[in-house]
Amino acid sequence: MDERLERIKELDSLYVMQTYKRLPVAFVRGEGNRVWDTEGREYLDLVSGLGVSILGHSHPRVIEAIRRQAGEILHTTNLYYVEPQVELARLLVEHSFDGRCFFANSGAEANEGALKLARKHYYMLGEPRSKVVCALGSFHGRTIATLSATGQPSKWEKFGPVTPGFTHIPLNDIDAMEAAVDEETAAVMLEPIQGESGVNPASPDFLMSARSACDRYGALLILDEVQTGIGRTGKLFAHQHSGVRPDMMTLAKGLANGVPIGVLIASSKLGDVLQPGDHGSTFGGGFLACAAAVETLKVVIEEDLPGNAGRVGNKLLEKLESLKRRIPLVREVRGRGLMLAIQFDEDCARKVVLDCLERGVLVNDVTPDAVRLLPPLVISEEDALAGAGILEEVLTGLKD
């Protein structure tokens, strides 16, 4: 018996709110694409902390940046200038679009900032608007407002009433987009690829229709790239595949390779909307998170990790697509770059995750009938295909 794991599980059950359905393992060390559990067993990580550890685990440059910053200063608040924060803002703007950044601690907080900015923008124009159009199946966070923006009514019931002002339309329904956006619309908020509902891509035409509708009525386009941003889909930002430019973009997960951070980037015309006292965060944009993010972003750009995500992701997609021809259980494979999902004909995703775990590979049951792969962007083709091979063995076993 693994006494260390049993002790962790006991303490968790006694003192931690049970808001997660945990897998029966605790990891204590990681390096590159691999992690090790309390018994020293090695696993290939195809989840990367839900898309967070994009450089893999214990990346030496990020470790050094964290150590260096921790040895200098950790916190003063945003009442004073923060050097790593302005360096990070410069890098982000130079590689996205002209604008300004607001820093927070999570994707939900970044999305809250975007919603507040949109409302104040129209307040300043003397024509208050509060309507926000979102897609069914979307996920924008767990705060009351971002939960209300999230297009999954099943998540609202226990926390109602939801915040009014949000309208939800089917993903990729251009007619519905054109009908929903009007002179009362403050913003359209979309994910280029919906992550938490099972990796569902928004089509380029749908994103274009959102941009056109916003332009027609003077509304703002917010793209939630919390999961798709920082190279995951084969470009630095997923909207770059479509050529659509947002008015605001939100980022979080992979930006600091594991240190909590979120950011709202607003175009130049919106950069002065939020004034002192309008919005803030005690910890947002702190020294440690921004130092880690600066180094993470530099590695991503210098080593062309979006390119690696595209190349390896295409090979992985080809391998997973081949499973459809051999394993009837596999109904569909979808996604882009290193953000992929396998759709099944039945609710077997948890079984697949547990069987892969037993074989030393981490995958994620994003829905009861779909498994998601979000490997680190540094993963090699060899490791990615090895993980897919284990997944194939598991699915073949289920078929038999």
Closest to 317 (Cα-Cα) out of 293, 335, 291: 335
Q: Is 235 a catalytic residue?
A: no
- From the list 120, 235, 253, 319, the catalytic residue is 253
Cis status, amide bond into 161, omega within 30 of 0: yes
State the residue for tokens 């009861």: 368
Q: How far apart are CA 227 and CA 324, in angstroms?
A: 26
- From the list 224, 247, 355, 383, the catalytic residue is 224
Q: Where are the beta strands (DSSP E) in 10-64?
A: 27-31, 34-37, 42-45
CB 171 within 8 A of CB 194: yes
Structure tokens at 85: 């924060």
Measure the CA dihedral 228/234/238/242, to 10°: -160
Q: Is 139 a catalytic residue?
A: yes
φ/ψ of residue 342, rounded to 5? -115, 120
Q: Is 9 a catalytic residue?
A: no
DSSP string, 234-256: SSSSGGGGTT---SEEEE-GGGG
- From the list 97, 139, 206, 287, the catalytic residue is 139
Provide the annotated active-site residues. Answer: 139, 224, 253
